[in-house]
Amino acid sequence: MARGIRPGAPLSKIAVSKAHGEDSPYFAGWKAYDEDPYDAVSNPTGVIQMGLAENQVSFDLLEDYLEHHPETSSWGSGISSFKENALFQDYHGLQSFRKAMASFMEQIRGKRVKFDPDRMVLTAGATAANELLTFILADPGDVFLVPTPYYPGFDRDLQWRTGVKILPVHCHSSNGFQLTLASLQSAYSNAEASNFRVKGLLITNPSNPLGTAMSRSLLEEILDFVAEKNIHLISDEIYSGSVFSSPEFISVAELVETRRHETCEGIHIVYSLSKDLGLPGFRVGTIYSYNNRVVTTARRMSSFSLVSSQTQKMLASMLSDEEFTANYIRTNRERLRKRHSYIVEGLKDAGIECLKGNAGLFCWMNLTQMLEEKSMEGELRLWKMILNEVKLNVSPGSSCYCVEPGWFRVCFANMTEETLDVALRRLKVFVEKIKGRKKKMIS
């Protein structure tokens, strides 16, 4: 590529800004893995990827389905159905696919709620859904409240192109990092005092990185709070299908149905098939909104991130096969539960405690005792050690804006059990080494 003598035509502020957040250790660790990926045979000393929240435990169920239902990957006989599909770029999305998604989402919630397919706006992944909702609900300079620790990608999704700002609502280990009404009230007051316009609250339920599902009473408080302040609530429920032990998952959708005396115009749900179905590459996400105007306008704006009609058609039949989905949801949950138990036991054996979790594809590890210095710098030093010496990519809490140093997110569903074993062994050795070092320092 040629470079001129002059600096060349300038780029925009967005192009040069770091608001995409990709320089964070969260993403930097992925690079280390890419450069030296673990392989049991060809690279047994490589980096084990434990920083990517992917679900690989239930692929065989999908493969099995596709093998026994070849019609899923074909357009059927005759040109007209192919032609129709190839030309279909309607931002409403295929009705059969929306129905299938609604049905799948209902099943995940034990059929305790009903989703109207016409309220579903399809987007190329939850990333696009969150950004799109932000464009629709807030103007540049407005603020969204987001409880910490939160998924690092939100910085990019909610702020980069939209010009909206995230105001973190800090949570603490003293109550298991649960969001409280008091912290919400205080964050809101602070925002008002600084002349920020708060337009919404974004919760992730079940939480990433905590791996916990919110209690009914907390959700009720949240709904009261957003109603009182007249702000929007976005409930990102992309891990809803991965709640593997009690308490049972409660979606805001359930509360909306029980709180019939109230308006629900400010409630919006984000979902995707990337986690529960393990299909991140398919780019299938959705916004479900109880607000007609939001549905209409988000739908029009979804032109910038439509789901491939081929993919919609492929998944429509699979997701409306209730026998398949019921079995998938059940089996997937069970496998995640087992995997979760396994890693929690293994970590315990290595001397590491985790936050008690019941959902998600990860654990929230407490490594506070291993810090040389109880600070962000200390945490990042520990993170680098784990990455470079132990060759494990885990995500430091500071990249999730956790205010207490020493917490790390470790993923358990994106590898085989054997690989997990290797990772746990390495960790055990490392913890003993650190403990040994500390003993020496004290004596």
Partner 1 sequence: MRIIVPLQGIVQGRGGLILGSLIPCALLYFFQFYLKRNRSSPPPDSPSASTANLPELTGIPRNSSRTSLPTRGSIRPVPVSSRATAIARDSDSAYYTGWKKYLEDPYHPTSNPDGIIQLGLSENHLSLDLIEEWLAANLQKSLLGEKRGDLSISGLATYEPLGGLMDLKIAMAGFMSQIMGGSVSFNPAQIILTAGATPAIEALSFCLADPGNAFLVPSPYYPGFDRDINLRTGIKLIPVHCRSSNNFSLSIAALEREYKQAKKRRIKVRAVLLCNPSNPVGNILHRETLYDLLSFVTDKNLHLISDEVYAGSTYGTEEFASIAELLDTGAFDNSRVHIIYGLSKDLSLPGFRVGAIYSYNENVISAVSKLTRFCAISLPTQHLLVSMLSDTKFIEEYLKVNRERLAQMYALFVDELKQLGVECFKSSGGFYCWVDMSKFLKSYSVKGELELWENILNVARVVVTPGASCHCIEPGWFRFCFTTVTERDVPLVMKRISKVLKDHKASQ
Q: What is the dihedral of CA 35, 41, 42, 43, to 10 degrees?
A: 40
Strands 392-393 and 48-49, by their bridges, are parallel
The number of beta carbons lying within 10 Å of the beta carbon of residue 441 is: 8
The number of beta carbons lying within 10 Å of the beta carbon of residue 397 is: 27
The number of residues that bind partner 1 (CB under 8 A) is 101
**Cβ 428 vs Cβ 349: under 8 Å:** yes
- DSSP conformational letter for 39: B
**Cβ 65 vs Cβ 318: under 8 Å:** yes
- 242 contacts: CB under 8 Å, gap ≥ 6: 55, 206, 275, 276, 332, 333, 336, 359, 360, 361
Question: Which residue from 62, 181, 191, 371 is in contact with partner 1, where contact means CB under 8 A?
Answer: 62
**75 is a contact residue toward partner 1 (CB under 8 A):** yes
Q: Which stretch binds partner 1 (CB under 8 A): 48-56, 170-178, 355-363, 391-399?
A: 48-56
Question: Which residue from 202, 223, 256, 270 is in contact with partner 1, where contact means CB under 8 A?
Answer: 256
227: which 2 tokens? 């109603």
CB closer to partner 1 out of 12 and 194: 12
CB closer to partner 1 out of 186 and 292: 292
Range 139-178, binding partner 1 (CB under 8 A): 139, 142, 153, 156, 161
Per-residue contact flags (x/-) with partner 1 for residues 8 to 47, judged by CB under 8 A: xxxxxxxxx---x-x-------------------------
129: which 2 tokens? 């859904």
**Cβ 48 vs Cβ 410: under 8 Å:** no
Dist. CA 307–CA 277, nearest whole Å: 16
**374 is a contact residue toward partner 1 (CB under 8 A):** no
**Cβ 365 vs Cβ 410: under 8 Å:** yes
CB closer to partner 1 out of 268 and 333: 268
* 178 Cα distance to chain centroid: 17
Question: Which residue from 39, 63, 349, 377 is in contact with partner 1, where contact means CB under 8 A?
Answer: 63
Beta carbon of residue 212, minimum distance to partner 1 (angstroms, whole number): 24
Beta carbon of residue 350, minimum distance to partner 1 (angstroms, whole number): 28
Alpha helices, DSSP H, located in 209-321: 216-229, 252-258, 292-301, 309-320
Q: Annotated catalytic residue: which of 33, 38, 150, 151?
A: 151
CB closer to partner 1 out of 226 and 434: 226
Known catalytic residue at 236: yes
Known catalytic residue at 435: no
Distance (Å) of CA 170 to CA 177, 286, 400, 403: 8, 28, 11, 7
The number of beta carbons lying within 10 Å of the beta carbon of residue 369 is: 14
CB closer to partner 1 out of 161 and 381: 161
Beta carbon of residue 55, minimum distance to partner 1 (angstroms, whole number): 9
Question: Which residue from 28, 218, 301, 376 is in contact with partner 1, where contact means CB under 8 A?
Answer: 301
**6 is a contact residue toward partner 1 (CB under 8 A):** yes
CB closer to partner 1 out of 39 and 90: 90
Dist. CA 26–CA 189, nearest whole Å: 31
Question: Which residue from 45, 186, 217, 296 is in contact with partner 1, where contact means CB under 8 A?
Answer: 296
Dist. CA 101–CA 108, nearest whole Å: 11
Known catalytic residue at 60: no
Question: Which residue from 295, 359, 394, 410 is in contact with partner 1, where contact means CB under 8 A?
Answer: 295
Q: Annotated catalytic residue: which of 231, 238, 329, 386?
A: 238
- Shortest CA distance to 367 belongs to which of 441, 427, 440? 427
Give me the count of residues in the chain.
Answer: 443
Q: Annotated catalytic residue: which of 155, 236, 276, 321?
A: 236
Range 401-430, binding partner 1 (CB under 8 A): none
Range 100-119, binding partner 1 (CB under 8 A): 114-116, 118-119
CB closer to partner 1 out of 158 and 243: 158
Known catalytic residue at 421: no
**279 is a contact residue toward partner 1 (CB under 8 A):** yes
Q: Which stretch binds partner 1 (CB under 8 A): 74-82, 243-251, 401-409, 435-443?
A: 74-82
The number of beta carbons lying within 10 Å of the beta carbon of residue 21 is: 17
Range 185-214, binding partner 1 (CB under 8 A): 199
CB closer to partner 1 out of 85 and 369: 85
CB closer to partner 1 out of 119 and 340: 119
**79 is a contact residue toward partner 1 (CB under 8 A):** yes
**Cβ 25 vs Cβ 385: under 8 Å:** no
Beta carbon of residue 296, minimum distance to partner 1 (angstroms, whole number): 4
Active centre residues (catalytic): 151, 236, 238, 275
